[in-house]
Amino acid sequence: MTAVQNDFARRLEPFRTELLAYCYRMLGSSHDAEDLVQETYLRAWRARERYDEGRSSLRTWLYRIATNVCLTALEARGRRPLPSGLVAASDPLGPLVLGENPWLQPLPDSLLALGDPAGVAVGRSSLRLAFASALQHLSARQRGALVLRDVLGFSASEAAEILGSTTVSVNSSLQRARTRMKEAGVGPEDTGEPSAAEQRAWVDRYAKAFEQADVEGLKRLLTEDVLMEMPPMLNWFTGRRNYGLFMEWVFGAAGTDWRLRPVTANGGQPGFAAYRRVGDGYRLHTLQVFTVTAGGISRNSVFQDPEVFAAFGLPGEPDDIS
């Protein structure tokens, strides 16, 4: 590799984390996002001699490549909703119904270098599961316009260049996207979210009650309108009472002996991996990611997907859980 090629590769590298976050917002899958960032870098390397820094910044050029990669992927893969955005709420004691959809996946924080300057461009609040889920109900180009303009701060003309469109078209897509997101009650900015330490404290108390199979203790940590969903199941429901009924069923069906491992996802959302007693050991059961407000836990997104487990590096039968 020549000195010029080495310099080009070095200049590309600082954008990797924010491009991963961008591809995740567009696709809703950490696995797909990693693959698409690799494809973006491969295409950029192959086209390096055609890059003209007099026409656009390196960052804008990379985002245009990443956007083309994402739009192509979306044509083949479609959207990834969560059950609460797809079907009506269900009975917490009704039968579990397996869905056929590809579901939105959580993004492991281990993939995000949130301590470095790129963390500003990553935009933690716009990675939250509720925001990522709402994005899935926009068209691909509306999604791109909203993320590029409102999350990443590109100008209308830069977003048009990245999307291969016109400023008028981008502004139109952006207005439609903003309307849809407002209807969903989510936005890219944090509004009164508790600190990371406060959120973890809520979830730590929840984890303690969970390990003790203390349903009443769990309910005291929930908001009145708490929502639980559990892809790949279509079932979801709201309300503290329904949540409690379901957890009574869980402990009755899966037992009351659990071990938990803390995780963080989607730019700082606290959660844990739950391992249930099976025979002489413990078996990985679910990964749970929580939304925490000042009034308590308002949402629990429960995942039971081998691809999600692998993304978080969770062993099926750990030896180090105490």
The pLDDT averaged over each successive group of 10 residues in the chain (322 residues) is: 82 94 96 97 94 92 97 91 94 95 95 60 79 95 96 96 97 97 82 86 98 98 98 97 98 97 95 96 97 96 96 84 51
CA dihedral 127, 130, 131, 137 (to 10 degrees): 130
Give the residues across from 265 on adjacent strands: 108, 269
- Same structural domain for residues 169 and 80? yes
In a domain, 253, yes or no: yes
- Same structural domain for residues 51 and 133? yes
SS3 169: helix
Confidence at residue 114, expressed as pLDDT on a 0 to 100 scale: 55
Total domains in the fold of the chain: 2
Confidence at residue 117, expressed as pLDDT on a 0 to 100 scale: 47
In a domain, 161, yes or no: yes
- Same structural domain for residues 32 and 70? yes
Confidence at residue 126, expressed as pLDDT on a 0 to 100 scale: 86
Enclosing domain of residue 263: 196-311
- For residue 296 the two structure tokens come to 């308590």
Confidence at residue 188, expressed as pLDDT on a 0 to 100 scale: 77
- Same structural domain for residues 153 and 229? no
Please, are residues 159 and 58 in contact by the beta-carbon 8 Å criterion?
Answer: no
Which of the listed residues 150, 184, 218 is the one where a domain comes to its end?
184
- Same structural domain for residues 39 and 140? yes
- Same structural domain for residues 221 and 154? no
Give the residues across from 258 on adjacent strands: 276
In a domain, 48, yes or no: yes
